[in-house]
Chains A and B, each alone.
Chain A
Amino acid sequence: MSSSELRPKSLEEIIAGCKKNQLKAQELFYQHFYGYSMSICLIYSDSKDDAVEIMNDGFLKIFKHIRNQKQPKAIKSWIRRIMINTAIDHYRRTKKHRHYTELDHTQQSGGEGEIYGKLAASEILSMVQLLPTSYRTVFNLYVIEGYSHKDISDILGISEGTSRANLSYANKELRKMLAKWLNIEYLK
C-alpha cells in the first residue's frame, strides 16, 4: 500500500479510524505525527536507528490505548508524553549496558557568540546525540521538557545531585562540541 493511495482525511476521522484498528488510518496517523515524534525521539537517542525503535515502540502504545483517548485536542501532548516515557523506558532498559566515555577534547576558541546563531537544527541535534546517554537524558528532560532536578531524580531513579552533575557535564561537553564546530566553520 503506497501513501498515494490514501485519501486525505481530517485528524478526527483518522483518530476515529485508529480507534477501530484500521490500518490505513493508522498509517495516516503515523504519517501525520512522524516529524513531531521523530524530533522528540532523536534527541533522546544516540542514533537514528535507536530513535526509530523508540518511536515505533511509542506508536505501538499509542495505537493500543488510543481508544481511551477522549480529547482529540490533547492528542499532541499525549503523544509527546508517550514518546518521552518510551525513551525513558529505553534508557532504563539499556542502563546496565552503558558506561561513561570521555568525549573528544578540543580547544576552545574565542569570539564565537555570533556564529552559534548559524547552527542548523541537525547540527545541534548531532551534538546532543553525541552526549553519553545519561547526560543526554538529563539534559533533555531539564532543557527541553523543563523538569526540575527533583522531578528528574524521581523519573530516572537517580539522586538530585547526580542529575545536577549530569546536566553540568552535558553543558560542558556541548560547549566543547560547539567550539569544535566553530573550527570547522572557519575552514570555509
Chain B
Amino acid sequence: MNDLELHQLVRDSLKEFKPAYDPRNWRLLQSRLILETTGFPWKFLALMVIPLTLAGTLWWNYQPLNTSDVNTSPKISKVSLKTAHTAPIFTPYVPRSLKTAPLVDIEDAENAKEEDAYENQHRIPNYELGMVYPMGPQSLNTPAVLNSYKTYFVEQKIRKLLLDRTIDQDSTTYKVLERNKEKWQSAVVVCDWTSSMFPYGTQIFTWLHHNQHNEALQAYVFFNDCDPAGTPLDQSSNTGGMFFTAEKNPQQVLSVMIDAVRIGAENTDLQENDLEALLFAAQQYPKADELVLIADNVSPVRYPQLLKKLNKPVRIIICGSTLTNQAIQPIYLELAKATGGSIHTIEDDLIDLENIPEGRWIRVGDKYFRYKKKKGEFVLTNRHKRPRNGTL
C-alpha cells in the first residue's frame, strides 16, 4: 500500500464518522458559557475573594493567644471509646447506583436519567465469558473486545509501557520485589490488574526482565473482576477474571498481561476481588509456599469473609496509597496478620506485625507515617523525607 492509497483509506474511513451526542460534554461547556456570557466580572470577584480569604485564614490561625485562657482548665468532652474506635478513618466513595437516599433534586434526576439512558444505549452487549483464562481464550476474540476502541487504545498504551519497561515515579512493586528476592521462596504473585494498578503491575514485567533466573517467583496471577463489556463478575465462590501463567519467559508473561488488559479495559468497578484471587492462586499452585499480593490500597476489598479460607502466608505490597491519608487499609493488615504474612511498602518491610515498635516509620507512596501503639495504627506525619534515625 503506497502513501496515496493509505491517505485515501484514512479519508474514506473518516468521511462518514460522527460520534454520538454526549450530554455530559454540554454540561462541561454550559458552566463556562454562563461565566463568559453573563458579563458579570467573575474574574475580578475571584481576584478579590482569594486574597481576602487567605488573609482571613492567616488572621484566624495566627491571632495572638489570649493569656486569660491559659490558666483555665481545658474542656474535655466525653467520647464513647467504642464510637471513637469504630469511627471510619476515611469515607469510601460510594457509586451513585449504590446510594439509596433520594437526595437529588428533580433536575439532577432528569440529568441522571438522561446519562443512564445514554450509557445503556452505548453499552457493549454482555457476552458469556470463559471465567478463567485459558479456559476461554476464544473470549478474547469476542466483538466486545475486538470492536472496542477503548480496549484497543488501552492495550496499545499498556503494551508500550511494558515494552519500554517504564517505571513510574512510584516504583513500589519493583523495589519491594528487588529487596525481597532472596528472602521469598517459591512465591506466587497475585496482582490487581485493574486500570489504576497498571503502573504498578507493569513493574513486575520490568523486574522479571532483570531477574529471569531468580527462583523467588514461581507463577503470576493477574486479576480483574469484569467481563469484556465492563460488567462486574459478581460471584463469591466461583472465581472469575483470573489470568495466570507459570512461565519464566517475560514474553509469555507479557502476552498473559496483555490478554488481561484486553478483557479488563472497560472495568470501572470500585471493589476489587483480591481475596478471590488469592484463593484461586492457592488452589491453582498448591505447591507455592507463599503468596505475594500487589494490592490497591485505595480500593475496598470484596467479600472479606473469604479471609478465613486462606492458609498460606500473604506478603502484601501496598500500592496507590498516595490518594488517601491512610497508611494501610485495615483489611490488608488483618489479612497479613491472619495468614502469618507481612506488609511491604516502597521502603519498608513490616514482618512482625504483632509487635510493631512505637514510633516505627514507614513510607507509603510519597507520604511518611509513624506507628502509634495506643491507636494501633500508622498516623500520617507532615514530613516529606525520612528522618536520619527513621529506620525504626
Contacts and interface: CB of A to CB of B under 8 A. Distances in A.
Given A2-B110, A56-B29, A126-B149, A174 B21 contact: no
A4 B23 CA distance: 11
B10 A39 contact: no
Nearest to B35: A60
B29 A113 contact: no
Interface in B2-45: 3, 6-7, 9-11, 13-14, 16-23, 25-26, 28-30, 32-34, 36-37
Interface size class of B (residues with CB under 8 A): 35 or more
B146 interface: yes
Contact of A128 (B1, B10, B22, B30): B10
Contacts of B14: 39, 43, 121, 124-125, 144
A130 to B, nearest CB: 6
Interface stretch (A7-15, A25-33, A76-84): A25-33
B46 to A, nearest CB: 18
A126 B29 contact: no
B1 A144 contact: no
A10 B261 CA distance: 46
A40 B234 CA distance: 40
A74 interface: no
Contact of B33 (A4, A63, A112, A174): A63
B151 to A, nearest CB: 10
Residue from the set B13, B16, B113, B147 with the largest chain A CB neighbour count within 10 Å: B13
A35 B19 contact: yes
A5 to B, nearest CB: 9
Interface stretch (B90-98, B152-160, B347-355): B152-160
A42 B1 contact: no
A39 B20 CA distance: 10
A123 B149 contact: yes
Nearest to A180: B156
Interface string B134-145: 000000110000
A119 interface: yes
B114 interface: yes
Interface size class of A (residues with CB under 8 A): 35 or more
Interface string B160-192: 100100000000000000000000000000000
A35 B37 contact: no
Given A104-B160, A116-B9, A174-B6, A188 B146 contact: yes
Contact of A38 (B9, B10, B19, B156): B19
Contact of A126 (B16, B152, B163): B152
A22 B222 CA distance: 52
Nearest to A4: B114
A124 B20 CA distance: 17
A124 B32 contact: no
A119 B19 contact: no
A104 B163 contact: yes
A34 B21 CA distance: 6
A129 interface: yes
A126 to B, nearest CB: 5
B23 A123 contact: no
Contacts of B37: 21, 63
Interface string B194-230: 0000000000000000000000000000000000000
B235 interface: no
Contacts of B69: none
Interface string B292-310: 0000000000000000000
Contacts of A1: 107
B21 A35 contact: yes
B111 interface: yes
A124 B19 contact: no
State the 10 A-B residue pairs at the shortest beta-carbon distance, nearest first.
Answer: A35-B18, A121-B17, A124-B13, A56-B29, A38-B19, A143-B7, A122-B149, A2-B110, A34-B21, A21-B37
6 contacts: A23-B34, A30-B29, A31-B26, A123-B149, A123-B152, A126-B149
Given A3-B23, A31-B26, A38-B18, 17 more contacts: A2-B23, A27-B26, A34-B25, A39-B18, A43-B14, A60-B33, A103-B160, A113-B1, A116-B1, A120-B147, A121-B13, A129-B153, A144-B11, A174-B6, A175-B6, A188-B141, A188-B146
